[in-house]
């Protein structure tokens, strides 16, 4: 694994847990973790349970006893690492968004295509597909339970940088992160809604906003938290925020639905509010990541006086991924989506099938992000999403 | 009062109740109700408690013992009736949206301005401003409790025409209704969010959609319900739907906020889901008309570990409009917003002040509706809202 | 009507409204209202819309043009007024609880029985039976939708006297009110759960508590609000609270269910939280009066992965009492339960049938209250409810 | 660890995770797991990540390299194993309830007292104390934020044996489990409410019920799931259910509060609904284990018009136990309460302090369970809880 911060910790927990919960034909070993700071990566290896550590990601690619490379770095290094790993015959799991630019993403898809011919698997880490409620939304839509999808509305709302003194971490710098709320959290709702509906975003009209344009330089950061230097705001060195704080767009999907999307880091009080609602001709589905064990399903074919949104507690053994966890009513958390992801990735490797979302699926999300940025840059003018050849993953 | 259907019944209930609940310097008499069908209007007068009835609205304007005319007809007749009434020296309450076109709305504003000089009052029926939770949202924003407003997200979702066999009632015809979901329910969230934030929509990028383009002709209708002729769908005469089923737009407000709006009659399972959330630099507010006795308030200045959305049950005597109703915890309903509206209208008449929202305020909403339609008609291109001179009502 | 305070206002609103909403074979006139204070009752008559007023309730009984007497006084005068009215051939609606003692209640039942022979109707005002969600609970249980009822849990929680300086109003005096939280709000959940389940409470084990035993004497009161004399708590004259602040009991129902009940005026933050849940072998139902437009229904026979509590918004035309109100999604409030009660009472009179709950039904509630008080007075010992002959009303 | 079923899996996950998340002065090794079936325990050891396994729990007690014994067996073997381990100088974590009888529990407390003198620690696994929301309830009550506690109402509702064909697993047999819903889940709400309020249950009036008195014998079980032999219900061998399906009691706490408790396995639709509400003179707290990341806090000292239940999302770094987990808004699950428990247990061992809840605390819960059973057996007569000497754990 490359990277040991927030995503690194979450992925480590999943790698350590996946074979303890699921019966799988292969077992994961947490062999080698890579980070740039030797002291910090050594500490992380010890804490997170990795057998070894390195400061050079190429070690992961060259070691013969390593079969899988998990890329958890900022987006600007995804392409280089992932392509090298694929070319070295390693299966690759790459965090989302796939890359910071469409060009990089295309190169990664090409590398994945070449590797696939040699039986090498690749997958992008849109982990929320594996939240059981989201997986079940997909199943219900695919089974026709809500009929023809007419409306999608999706928001992903956080508030972690409302304080104008929060420092200028890498996620607020375009060269590292590619974009702001858009690529970080907007990408999730793009992928998730396309996954759930089986429809793709065809065109968008967008706006983005940066509410706080200058921030103090960071002294240190960990996960999403960070600190600044200086005793008072006045004395702090500052730098420009080069990404969006919020991105909003309306869209048309290729199956006829209309949609609304919003990603923001300035929605005070909303901590991780990924909320998706889908309305179809026969029913509706609603989900909120802050209540991730629940799914709301409106069945418009039920008896008229008994219709309503049913709050399904997603903890039954027949719910997706749940058979291996706890008895009904015992909740799972955020990290479990990664365990489910590792389960499916390992199973795909063992059974020599291609996991989803593929790099090509992730490229398509990248094309939507690109259309959003182009529309926002052109006065919200309608912008078609550039076609890619990959089908929406089933 | 002109009109006796859904709005007519709701207004009648409010006129009958307002002096039974509130101490006011004037008393309403329900003197004369007007409708086109003599039999139906006679029945309505008897049922709804009106002393007399007529089939000619001019009777309301010419009778000396009538001081107030309440216009509850479809939008295409608002201008003619309201202007005539104002010119005859009657105070006018006109249902929303103010008119079907900007030109009509401008003429009504001009008439209202002339009448005001003679002490004649006019008001537009955006009743949701008087839901106590909405009034309190306005108060909290105005008091600075959520700081600078950054985000507005508003939806008004219904599902009453999801069935493609629901007939082509007047609300689905452009010449009668002006627009579809946009003017009928979208107008409410435009007015409400501008009222709450004190900011105006400056520009929009919009799309509209008509999912079901042809519907059976109606045999009869009542309120929002209707019936069709013919035993089977095949045998029914049909006509084209000439309004939008759904309208979505993103917007910038003149105070710097970004916003998202959606109005739909195709959101299966959502019956009257007017939902508004406002995020500011210090806090947030959220409201859902399907739980109209509740207001959610996030105070970002509270102790860190105790922050959260507080569900305020809006039934305390110190809450807006509540002192005259029931003890704490005893809910009010939809119709009470009209009683509150009549209370404020009567009080304005008695105290010789101008009630809000004025016709000019309502014209400004009309200008937003117009911008939305122009943007949707021009491929979602960014469209500035034409300025009007009226300030947002306090 | 006798009484013009909280219940008087609520009943007046219902009497004025019932024929404006429902098509009924008879029409209510609000003829004469009675109260002890001549000035206040005159004001009330004018405000609440009564044609005349009196300070002697016997005027209601003796006037020939009066057909119905509505008793909204404190419980200590129910028996005298109701019996006199029945004997004078007036139909009687009497507020709950029926009386302050079992003996009085028995006398009232006897009077009602005699009057029934002459076609005179009587009904007790357990208005919450007519909240649409409660009526529908009853229908679903009766239809077998939740199978055999195993569990009932009911609370009625308020907090209006948490402040120890709240004065000693009549509701806190045993000679006026009979009991405290028990008879005032506990009676509601006793009646409601028996109504919903069709089972009767057979025996109880109870405890009661008075947290604040001495309170300042009141200077004035209105509804549930009241004021005290004196600038500071120290200088105020006080008196003893002679009723319970809270009552809790566990129970067995005659159909085999076990149950838990709690009524309190000291549940800080709960304003009018009448909450009832019923669990059966095939499903469950849950209701909260603070969200009175909603009913939660768990259908245990639904597909396993789709089971959950369905939140039914009780605003559809086919829901009980709703056909005459507003379109789907438009809420009703607390007062509507009284309008529904008046509708059924008037219909019973017109159709010469007996309305429910009858005085005999209300006597049975009284017997439960009596058993609770006896158990609480005897160290929570198990106490059988004395049988009464009346069947549970359908 | 002894036991490898439901609790065994949950504890294993926690032992493996605790040092990966928290910085602690000691590290847990998962050395040896014990179970009666050699094949199953071998599989469990491999799956759950234990270095070795055995079929004789005495191996855990005698091996010198083992410092801690974790007892996850049914209650009938707790005393023997825990006492032997303590006497052998092992720190002991014992699942709840502490024992099946008061006598066993007293013997365990005596053993723990003797061991403590030698620096050996013991703790009972009431894991829900370590759900962050519950820990924070305790902190808020202790800080006086809700004033004097007047009301406690607690339910723990499940529905896993509503089906009368669910087999007669060990949890339904008195000799193995001691009691049914009472000891299994009722014990949790007894401990939790005493922990939160700092008050102890002084006396109770109780009833218990067994709705299904005969069940098919089990063919196999895993966690809470189980299977039966035989194709049809008719052909199955059955046996008597010897424990309660549901237990209800009202209580007085030694600090003056009144309380209501209910534990049931027959609450259809409630999967793991541990719900606790505490009302004090200044505020209230409410918690639901099915939404374990949320705490509801009503602050009665807030501005009057802004009072309401605040839904605190318990994911902030300053919330109890949360600093080591994910960023705000990223939920934790059921299993995390065990990780928190192991953290505190390890820290107590390392810092040579006594962890809570102690065996003495758990004995006190046992005495409440005993009082409940005696009251239920004596016609719900009021039964004082036998005093124990241990203080409520801070």
Specify the CATH architecture of the domain D129-384. Answer: 2-Layer Sandwich (3.30)
pLDDT band at residue A48 using 50, 70 and 90 as cut-offs: very high
Q: Classify residue B310 by its DSSP letter.
A: E
Pairing of strands B283-288, B273-280: antiparallel
Is B327's CB within 8 Å of C270's CB?
A: no
Predicted pLDDT of residue C222: 62
Whether A300 has its CB under 8 Å from any CB of chain B: the answer is yes
Q: Which stretch of DSSP H or E encloses residue D218?
A: strand D218-222
Residue C391 has pLDDT above 50, yes or no: no
What are the chain A neighbours of B280 within 8 Å (beta carbons)?
268
Cα dihedral A298, A295, B155, A191, rounded to 10, equals -120
Predicted pLDDT of residue C252: 98
Angstrom distance (rounded) from CA B101 to CA A244: 37
Residue B342 has pLDDT above 60, yes or no: yes
HSE-CB for B128 with a 13 A CA cutoff: 30
Angstrom distance (rounded) from CA A91 to CA C95: 76
Q: Contact at 8 Å (CB) between C128 and C289?
A: yes
Closest to A305 (Cβ–Cβ): which among C305, C308, C318? C318
Is B205's CB within 8 Å of A250's CB?
A: yes
Angstrom distance (rounded) from CA A228 to CA C4: 65
Is B306's CB within 8 Å of D297's CB?
A: yes
Q: Contact at 8 Å (CB) between C260 and C153?
A: yes
C-alpha separations of D12 from A26, D70, D71, D83 in Å: 21, 10, 12, 22
Is B317's CB within 8 Å of C225's CB?
A: yes
Tell me if residue A158 falls in helix, strand or coil. coil
Q: Contact at 8 Å (CB) between B286 and B276?
A: yes
Residue A393 has pLDDT above 60, yes or no: no
Angstrom distance (rounded) from CA D85 to CA D103: 18
Q: Widest CA span of chain A, in angstroms?
A: 66
Closest to D249 (Cβ–Cβ): which among C155, C211, C250? C250
Angstrom distance (rounded) from CA B287 to CA B294: 7
pLDDT tens per residue across span B56-90: 999 999 999 999 999 999 999 999 999 999 999 99
Concatenating the DSSP letter of every residue in C55-72 gives S-THHHHH-TT--EEEE-
Angstrom distance (rounded) from CA D153 to CA A140: 38
Is A264's CB within 8 Å of B281's CB?
A: no
Closest to A246 (Cβ–Cβ): which among B258, B307, B380? B258
**What value of ipTM does the predicted structure carry?**
0.95
**CB-based burial of residue D13 (10 Å sphere; 0-12 exposed, 13-18 middle, 19+ buried)?**
buried
C-alpha separations of B331 from A130, A280, B7 in Å: 41, 32, 22
Whether B291 has its CB under 8 Å from any CB of chain C: the answer is yes
C-alpha separations of C306 from A132, A140, A307, A316, D124 in Å: 13, 10, 13, 10, 37
pLDDT band at residue C219 using 50, 70 and 90 as cut-offs: confident
What are the chain A neighbours of C138 within 8 Å (beta carbons)?
none
CATH number 3.50.50.60 is the correct assignment for the domain at A130-384: no
Give the CATH superfamily of D6-125. NAD(P)-binding Rossmann-like Domain (3.40.50.720)
| Minimal-distance CA residue of chain D relative to A12 | D20
Tokens of B290: 């399907």
Which residue, C310, C282, C278, is CA-closest to C295? C310
Predicted pLDDT of residue A39: 96
Whether A47 has its CB under 8 Å from any CB of chain D: the answer is yes
Residue B394 has pLDDT above 50, yes or no: no
Whether A158 has its CB under 8 Å from any CB of chain B: the answer is no
Q: Which stretch of DSSP H or E encloses residue B8?
A: helix B6-21
Angstrom distance (rounded) from CA B238 to CA B253: 41
What's the length of chain A? 394
Is D305's CB within 8 Å of B297's CB?
A: no
Angstrom distance (rounded) from CA C83 to CA C88: 9
Closest to B328 (Cβ–Cβ): which among C47, C160, C293? C160
Predicted pLDDT of residue B236: 80
| Nearest-CA distance D307 → chain B (Å) | 6
**C 301-360 → A contacts, CB under 8 A:** 304-313, 316, 318-319
CATH assignment of B6-128, among 3.40.50.720, 3.90.1150.170, 3.60.21.10, 3.40.50.300: 3.40.50.720
Angstrom distance (rounded) from CA C184 to CA D23: 56
Is B268's CB within 8 Å of A281's CB?
A: yes
Residue A394 has pLDDT above 50, yes or no: no
Q: Contact at 8 Å (CB) between B366 and A363?
A: no
**CB-based burial of residue B291 (10 Å sphere; 0-12 exposed, 13-18 middle, 19+ buried)?**
buried
| Nearest-CA distance C207 → chain B (Å) | 26
HSE-CB for D138 with a 13 A CA cutoff: 21
Pairing of strands D201-209, D149-157: unpaired
* Phi-psi domain of C282 (left: phi exceeds 0; alpha: psi -120 through 50; beta: other): alpha
Size of interface A-B (CB pairs under 8 A): 127
pLDDT tens per residue across span A99-120: 999 999 999 999 999 999 999 9
Predicted pLDDT of residue D235: 72
Packed helices A102-117 and A359-377: angle between N→C axes, nearest 10 degrees: 170
| Nearest-CA distance D15 → chain A (Å) | 12
* Domain spans in chain D, listed from the N-terminal domain onward: 6-125, 129-384
Cis peptide before D42 (omega within 30 of 0): no
**A 258-277 → B contacts, CB under 8 A:** 258-260, 262, 264, 266-270
Specify the CATH architecture of the domain A6-127. Answer: 3-Layer(aba) Sandwich (3.40)
Q: Contact at 8 Å (CB) between B237 and B192?
A: no
Dihedral sign for Cα atoms in the order B368, B371, B376, B382: negative
pLDDT tens per residue across span A181-215: 999 999 999 999 999 999 999 999 999 999 999 99
**CB-based burial of residue C288 (10 Å sphere; 0-12 exposed, 13-18 middle, 19+ buried)?**
middle
Q: How many other C-beta atoms lie within 10 A of the C-beta of residue C198? A: 17
Angstrom distance (rounded) from CA B303 to CA B298: 12
What are the chain D neighbours of C157 within 8 Å (beta carbons)?
279
| Nearest-CA distance C166 → chain D (Å) | 13
Is A271's CB within 8 Å of D328's CB?
A: yes
What's the length of chain C? 394
Q: Which stretch of DSSP H or E encloses residue A349?
A: helix A336-351
C-alpha separations of B81 from A65, B65, B163 in Å: 85, 18, 34
For chain A, the chains sharing at least 3 beta-carbon pairs closer than 8 angstroms are B, C, D
Predicted pLDDT of residue C283: 98
What are the chain A neighbours of C305 within 8 Å (beta carbons)?
136, 312, 316, 318-319
Which residue, A292, A245, A284, A291, is CA-closest to A265? A245
Which residue, D17, B367, D153, is CA-closest to A333? D17
Report the Cα–Cα distance between both ends of chain C, in Å, rounded.
Answer: 27
Tell me the pLDDT of chain B averaged across its residues. Answer: 95
C-alpha separations of B293 from B23, B135, C290, D144, D349 in Å: 23, 12, 9, 30, 52
Predicted pLDDT of residue C394: 42
Q: Contact at 8 Å (CB) between C126 and C191?
A: yes
- Average pLDDT for residues C106-123, to the nearest whole number? 97
| Minimal-distance CA residue of chain C relative to D308 | C269
Q: Contact at 8 Å (CB) between A108 and A359?
A: yes
HSE-CB for A317 with a 13 A CA cutoff: 9
C-alpha separations of C140 from B209, C143, C301, C310, C391 in Å: 40, 5, 14, 14, 20
Q: How many other C-beta atoms lie within 10 A of the C-beta of residue C185? A: 22
* Phi-psi domain of D167 (left: phi exceeds 0; alpha: psi -120 through 50; beta: other): beta
pLDDT tens per residue across span A286-312: 999 999 999 999 999 999 999 999 999
Is C306's CB within 8 Å of A312's CB?
A: yes
Tokens of D207: 């009833």
pLDDT tens per residue across span C116-168: 999 999 999 999 999 999 999 999 999 999 999 999 999 999 999 999 999 99
Among C27-31, C230-234, C301-305, which is the least confidently predicted range? Answer: C230-234
Is A306's CB within 8 Å of C313's CB?
A: no
Angstrom distance (rounded) from CA C14 to CA A20: 64
pLDDT tens per residue across span D4-27: 988 999 999 999 999 999 999 999
H helix count then E strand count, chain C? 11, 18
Tokens of B341: 């509206």
Closest to C333 (Cβ–Cβ): which among B47, B289, B331? B331
| Minimal-distance CA residue of chain B relative to C224 | B327
Helices (H), A56-185: 58-62, 78-87, 102-117, 132-142, 174-177, 181
Angstrom distance (rounded) from CA B253 to CA B255: 5
For chain D, the chains sharing at least 3 beta-carbon pairs closer than 8 angstroms are A, B, C
Whether C166 has its CB under 8 Å from any CB of chain D: the answer is no
Q: Which residues of chain D have pLDDT under 50?
A: 390-394
């Amino acid at each position: 694994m490359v990277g040991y911060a927030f995503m690194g910790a979450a992925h480590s927990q999943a790698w350590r847990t996946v074979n303890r919960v699921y019966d799988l034909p292969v077992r994961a070993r947490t062999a080698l973790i890579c980070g740039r700071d030797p002291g910090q990566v050594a500490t992380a290896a010890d804490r997170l349970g990795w057998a070894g550590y390195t400061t050079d990601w190429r070690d992961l690619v060259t070691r013969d006893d390593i079969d899988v490379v998990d890329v958890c770095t900022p987006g600007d290094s995804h392409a280089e690492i992932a392509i090298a790993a694929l070319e070295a015959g390693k299966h690759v799991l790459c965090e989302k968004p796939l890359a910071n630019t469409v060009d990089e993403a295309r190169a990664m898809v090409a590398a994945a295509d070449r590797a696939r011919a040699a039986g090498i698997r690749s997958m992008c880490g849109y982990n929320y597909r594996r939240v059981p409620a989201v997986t079940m939304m997909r199943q219900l839509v695919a089974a026709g339970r809500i009929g023809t999808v007419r409306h999608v509305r999706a928001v992903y709302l956080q508030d972690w940088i409302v304080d104008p003194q929060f420092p200028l971490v890498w996620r607020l710098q375009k060269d590292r992160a590619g974009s702001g709320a858009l690529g970080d959290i907007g990408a999730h709702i793009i992928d998730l809604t396309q996954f759930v509906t089986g429809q793709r975003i065809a065109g968008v009209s967008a706006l983005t906003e940066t509410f706080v344009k200058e921030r103090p330089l960071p002294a240190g950061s960990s996960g999403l938290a960070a600190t600044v230097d200086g005793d008072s705001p006045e004395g702090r060195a500052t730098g420009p925020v080069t990404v969006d704080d919020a991105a909003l767009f309306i869209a048309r999907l290729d199956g006829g639905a209309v949609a609304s999307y919003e990603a923001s880091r300035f929605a005070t009080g909303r901590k991780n509010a990924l909320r998706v609602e889908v309305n179809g001709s026969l029913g509706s589905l609603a989900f909120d990541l802050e209540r991730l064990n629940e799914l709301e399903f409106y069945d418009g074919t039920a008896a008229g006086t008994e219709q309503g949104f049913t709050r399904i507690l997603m903890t039954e053994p027949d719910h997706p991924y749940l058979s291996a966890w706890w008895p009904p009513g015992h909740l799972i958390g955020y990290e479990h989506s990664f365990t489910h992801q590792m389960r499916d990735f390992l199973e795909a490797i063992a059974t020599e099938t291609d996991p989803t979302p593929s790099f090509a699926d992730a490229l398509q999300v990248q094309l939507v992000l690109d259309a959003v940025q182009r529309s926002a840059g052109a006065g919200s003018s309608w912008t078609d999403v550039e076609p890619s050849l990959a089908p929406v993953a089933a």
